[in-house]
Chains A and B, each alone.
Chain A
């Protein structure tokens, strides 16, 4: 009998820990961060930050040919008491405070949006109900900008749902005041043709906690770029992600945690399952510990489960450390496959094929799903995973 083959063809798992003066995180970028799209050359696919992305499927978001159609997406925000929801113009000074666009599409979104949503949770307000943001694609092209700002010691959960069909480029800013606690769940449950490229910038205040849960199921191309930096010491960031990549889909999650301040923590855990021909998942995990960031504690993990032949994973953790005075730093990346031998083993114990597959996938995601800490979201995710599996078996 053949031994189980654990590394599927078409999988790459590269990692690096740099302890050097030159920043590999910075050199990944072909231009410095900027709000102006003109500062970024049109990418051709060889650039470090674009080399995994199928540019031809971005429907012109990267080269200026995509033009907002007026019927791009419909955004509905449902917020409990204690929350202010505003639609503002481009000149509102609260926009763009959490970080600048770092690539051409993010800068295009920033240069092109007309109205932005600003959601503000008042100082010390502790919400018992989530803020719900529904982004529903209407079939056109849209550029978006959203700001979620929590005053000091405020606590909130935000659930953002992306559905329908759209070509959307967006920036989302999360600004956390001192001691604030924010959990954001962003679900990409798009129709199959949708294209969604977004940069999320979180600026974490003193002793504040930020938790981001990125869940990607649908769409043709989804590329999400969550970034975290710290405004003051004592901040914590947990970045969780879960994706289920089907035949032909490109799902890319690129993360940066910039430890620019002492005594902050970060924990990154992304897990994905892939099935079908040309399913392609990309995970880039950059963690930068700057010289000033003494006492940093960070860990990042990416796990992929390849369920069928023909799928491809690129997983690149990158940890860059500029000070030795840290509490901890580590990373892990692994890609395994559910293969015919595993299926045979489970079935030889009486377990029917469909159930065997569900068992493996549920088990794979369970630990991560439990860490989300929101029972209704957890239930929904598990149900969605089951549905994805049903569709395939």
Chain B
């Protein structure tokens, strides 16, 4: 069973006046089949955790370890992490001019699966995944994220999640900027993947709204670069009622 273990993770970014530490010792273990929600105020370092796990070059790991089934994730390049089974659904997916969605999906599936998917089954697979996410077939011929609405970008991220079938899925504020219908469709997509029992999910969110659709097994409160409280789904209800004030030692997190 796949397990992602994050131990005492420290991460810095380069700021104008030298490196600034954002993650200050994160401990978290995510097993296949589990769903962990990480919640916290803006600037608490939630997204930094997501991008550090995916290997974004902007973030420097200064301490701690991340392993996937014992393999050192931090030693891997960005593409190696993806091929090892780590997937990041981004909050702000990037436009890639000149590359169609269909070409992108197929290239990526080929890289992840280690061989090109058979054309006939692949076309069906993509078509049915797009239908379930209420995506127009014409979407496949558009350039990746170019001119997509906020909802289209998120659907496209979840489409990739469904097709690439990672061991660990990190969803970075997938709910932000979605109306209720889009939120429901996107959540259903995530749930289809979760129901296979083969993915460990790290759901990063600012709001409890998405947790009505995606039920977490564990909820972690993130503040000032570390997890300050962990519990079950009931912790989300407490956050819904009381907000994050109780966790902010300095009366509002910085940056």
In whole angstroms, how far apart are the Cα atoms of A352 and B76 in the complex? 12
Once the chains bind, are A3 and B79 in contact (CB under 8 Å)? no
Contact of A350 among B57, B91, B97, B108 (CB under 8 A): B108
Q: Which residues of chain A come closer than 8 Å to B99, judged between CB atoms?
A: 346, 359-360, 363
* A390 in contact (CB, < 8 A): no
Once the chains bind, are A336 and B79 in contact (CB under 8 Å)? no
Once the chains bind, are B91 and A1 in contact (CB under 8 Å)? yes
In whole angstroms, how far apart are the Cα atoms of A182 and B87 in the complex? 52
* A150 in contact (CB, < 8 A): no
Once the chains bind, are B79 and A4 in contact (CB under 8 Å)? no
Docked complex: B153-178 residues within 8 A CB-CB of A: 160, 164
Q: Which residues of chain B come closer than 8 Å to A353, judged between CB atoms?
A: 77, 79
Docked complex: B172-194 residues within 8 A CB-CB of A: none
Once the chains bind, are B82 and A350 in contact (CB under 8 Å)? yes
* A341 in contact (CB, < 8 A): yes
Once the chains bind, are B96 and A360 in contact (CB under 8 Å)? yes
Once the chains bind, are A352 and B97 in contact (CB under 8 Å)? no
Q: Which residues of chain A come closer than 8 Å to B47, judged between CB atoms?
A: 1
In whole angstroms, how far apart are the Cα atoms of A346 and B90 in the complex? 12
In whole angstroms, how far apart are the Cα atoms of A6 and B97 in the complex? 10
In whole angstroms, how far apart are the Cα atoms of A344 and B56 in the complex? 7
* A39 in contact (CB, < 8 A): no
Docked complex: A351-393 residues within 8 A CB-CB of B: 351-353, 355, 359-366
In whole angstroms, how far apart are the Cα atoms of A229 and B55 in the complex? 55
When A355-B107, A355-B111 are in contact, do A348 and B97 touch as well, CB less than 8 Å? no
Which of the four size classes fits the interface of chain B?
35 or more
Contact of B94 among A305, A341, A352 (CB under 8 A): A341
Once the chains bind, are A349 and B56 in contact (CB under 8 Å)? no
Q: Which residues of chain B come closer than 8 Å to A359, judged between CB atoms?
A: 99, 103-104, 107
Once the chains bind, are A345 and B96 in contact (CB under 8 Å)? yes
The B interface is mostly helix, strand or loop, or mixed, namely: mixed
Once the chains bind, are A345 and B79 in contact (CB under 8 Å)? no
Once the chains bind, are B94 and A360 in contact (CB under 8 Å)? no
In whole angstroms, how far apart are the Cα atoms of A350 and B166 in the complex? 11
Residue in A closest to B95 when the chains form the complex, CB atoms: A4
Contact of B79 among A1, A6, A338, A352 (CB under 8 A): A352
Once the chains bind, are B164 and A350 in contact (CB under 8 Å)? yes
Q: Which residues of chain B come closer than 8 Å to A120, judged between CB atoms?
A: none
A5 to chain B, nearest CB (A): 11
Number of interface residues of A (CB under 8 A): 29
In whole angstroms, how far apart are the Cα atoms of A361 and B99 in the complex? 9
Q: Indicate the member of B81, B83, B97 with the most A CB atoms within 10 Å.
A: B97
* B112 in contact (CB, < 8 A): yes
Q: Which residues of chain A come closer than 8 Å to B94, judged between CB atoms?
A: 4, 341-342, 344-345
Once the chains bind, are A350 and B92 in contact (CB under 8 Å)? no
Once the chains bind, are A346 and B96 in contact (CB under 8 Å)? yes
Once the chains bind, are A347 and B88 in contact (CB under 8 Å)? no
A356 to chain B, nearest CB (A): 8
Q: Which residues of chain B come closer than 8 Å to A340, judged between CB atoms?
A: 57
Residue in B closest to A337 when the chains form the complex, CB atoms: B97
When A344-B94, A355-B111 are in contact, do A349 and B164 touch as well, CB less than 8 Å? yes
In whole angstroms, how far apart are the Cα atoms of A361 and B96 in the complex? 11
In whole angstroms, how far apart are the Cα atoms of A336 and B95 in the complex? 11
Contact of A348 among B54, B91, B92, B100 (CB under 8 A): B54
* B51 in contact (CB, < 8 A): yes
Residue in A closest to B86 when the chains form the complex, CB atoms: A348
* B93 in contact (CB, < 8 A): yes
Docked complex: A1-16 residues within 8 A CB-CB of B: 1, 3-4, 6
When A344-B57, A359-B104, A359-B107 are in contact, do A350 and B96 touch as well, CB less than 8 Å? no
* B251 in contact (CB, < 8 A): no
A92 to chain B, nearest CB (A): 46
Q: Indicate the member of B92, B98, B111 with the most A CB atoms within 10 Å.
A: B98
* B78 in contact (CB, < 8 A): yes
Once the chains bind, are A350 and B83 in contact (CB under 8 Å)? yes
In whole angstroms, how far apart are the Cα atoms of A351 and B82 in the complex? 8
Residue in B closest to A361 when the chains form the complex, CB atoms: B98
Q: Which residues of chain A come closer than 8 Å to B111, judged between CB atoms?
A: 349-352, 355
Once the chains bind, are B79 and A351 in contact (CB under 8 Å)? yes
A339 to chain B, nearest CB (A): 9
In whole angstroms, how far apart are the Cα atoms of A352 and B97 in the complex? 18
Docked complex: A25-57 residues within 8 A CB-CB of B: none
Once the chains bind, are A347 and B82 in contact (CB under 8 Å)? yes
Once the chains bind, are A336 and B160 in contact (CB under 8 Å)? no
Once the chains bind, are B107 and A305 in contact (CB under 8 Å)? no
Once the chains bind, are A3 and B92 in contact (CB under 8 Å)? yes
Docked complex: B54-83 residues within 8 A CB-CB of A: 54-57, 77-79, 81-83
Once the chains bind, are B108 and A345 in contact (CB under 8 Å)? no
Q: Which residues of chain A come closer than 8 Å to B93, judged between CB atoms?
A: 345
Q: Which residues of chain A come closer than 8 Å to B56, judged between CB atoms?
A: 1, 344
| List of 6 A-B pairs having minimum Cβ-Cβ separation, nearest first | A364-B98, A363-B98, A350-B111, A349-B108, A350-B82, A347-B78
Given contacts A348-B54, A355-B107, A366-B98, 14 further A-B contacts (CB under 8 A): A1-B51, A1-B91, A342-B95, A344-B78, A345-B93, A348-B88, A348-B90, A349-B160, A351-B108, A359-B104, A360-B98, A363-B97, A363-B103, A364-B98
Report 27 cross-chain contacts, Cβ distance below 8 Å, ordered by A residue. A1-B56, A1-B90, A4-B95, A305-B97, A336-B97, A341-B94, A344-B54, A344-B56, A345-B90, A346-B104, A347-B78, A347-B82, A348-B81, A348-B82, A348-B88, A349-B104, A349-B108, A349-B111, A350-B83, A350-B108, A351-B79, A351-B107, A355-B107, A355-B111, A359-B99, A363-B98, A363-B99
Q: List residues of chain B with CB under 8 Å of any chain A CB.
A: 47, 51, 54-57, 77-79, 81-83, 87-88, 90-100, 103-104, 107-108, 111-112, 143-144, 160, 164
Q: List residues of chain A with CB under 8 Å of any chain B CB.
A: 1, 3-4, 6, 305, 336, 338, 340-342, 344-353, 355, 359-366
